[in-house]
């Protein structure tokens, strides 16, 4: 049983490394990334502590943005949102729209403590179904960590994965695949 688990972990790691290399060399082409891009695959040599430092910087920016935003006095209703990822596990661009949404979501959940959110991770059809289910869940957990670091109560957040189950029929093209790599934020 241990050898099967070790083989699975080895295959998963090799697939992730290969995906990261392909992404960096073929898709990104070593071009300049936008200022607020977070990508664990842009520098293959990054360590976990590098990722944690970058995550702290993103969260710090989100908190600053939240302090600048004055919440409206009227009743707040929250729309669902879909966040799209680049190729790789944690390749997510944090733009001003996402920062604003996270700030509004935080305000909404603080005012409506009976409300919860569900984060549903999705992948394209590249790779096996089991790896894609795991990757979808990891993406959802990644977004949860960003939301928790931004001040949202973790007990109000549930994570799920649909993996490649809802991948579009255009998932064989790069454009189609890019629309399948996402996390849905659903308020309930």
Sorted by where each begins, the domain ranges of the chain are 2-187
Residues 171, 180 contacting (CB under 8 angstroms) = yes
Per-residue pLDDT tens for 88-119? 656 677 888 899 999 999 999 999 999 999 99
**Rounded distance between C-alpha atoms, residue 161 and residue 77, angstroms:** 25
**pTM check: above 0.75:** no
Residue with tokens 């920062």: 99
Tell me how far CA of residue 18 lies from CA of 24, 87, 145, 164, in angstroms: 10, 11, 25, 19
**Rounded distance between C-alpha atoms, residue 173 and residue 171, angstroms:** 5
Flag whether pLDDT at 50 surpasses 60: no
pLDDT confidence of residue 175:
72
- At residue 152, φ and ψ (nearest 5 deg) are -80, 135
Fold of 2-187: 60s Ribosomal Protein L30; Chain: A; (3.30.1330)
Q: Calculate the CA 118 to chain-centre distance.
A: 13
């Amino acid at each position: 049983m241990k050898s099967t688990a070790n083989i699975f972990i080895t295959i998963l790691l090799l697939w992730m490394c290969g995906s990261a290399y392909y992404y960096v060399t073929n898709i990104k082409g070593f071009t300049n990334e936008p200022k607020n891009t977070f990508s664990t695959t842009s520098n293959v040599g990054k360590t976990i502590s590098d990722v944690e430092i970058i995550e702290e910087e993103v969260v710090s920016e989100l908190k600053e943005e939240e302090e600048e935003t004055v919440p409206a006095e009227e009743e707040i209703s929250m729309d669902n949102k879909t966040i799209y990822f680049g190729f790789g596990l944690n390749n997510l661009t944090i733009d001003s729209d996402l920062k604003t949404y996270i700030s509004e979501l935080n305000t909404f959940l603080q005012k409506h403590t009976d409300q919860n959110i569900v984060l549903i991770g999705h992948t394209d059809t590249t790779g096996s179904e089991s790896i894609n289910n795991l990757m979808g869940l990891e993406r959802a957990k990644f977004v949860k960590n960003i939301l928790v670091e931004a001040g949202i109560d973790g007990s109000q957040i549930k994570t799920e994965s649909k993996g490649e189950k809802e991948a579009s029929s255009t998932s064989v093209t790069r454009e189609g695949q890019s629309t399948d790599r996402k996390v849905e934020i659903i308020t309930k």
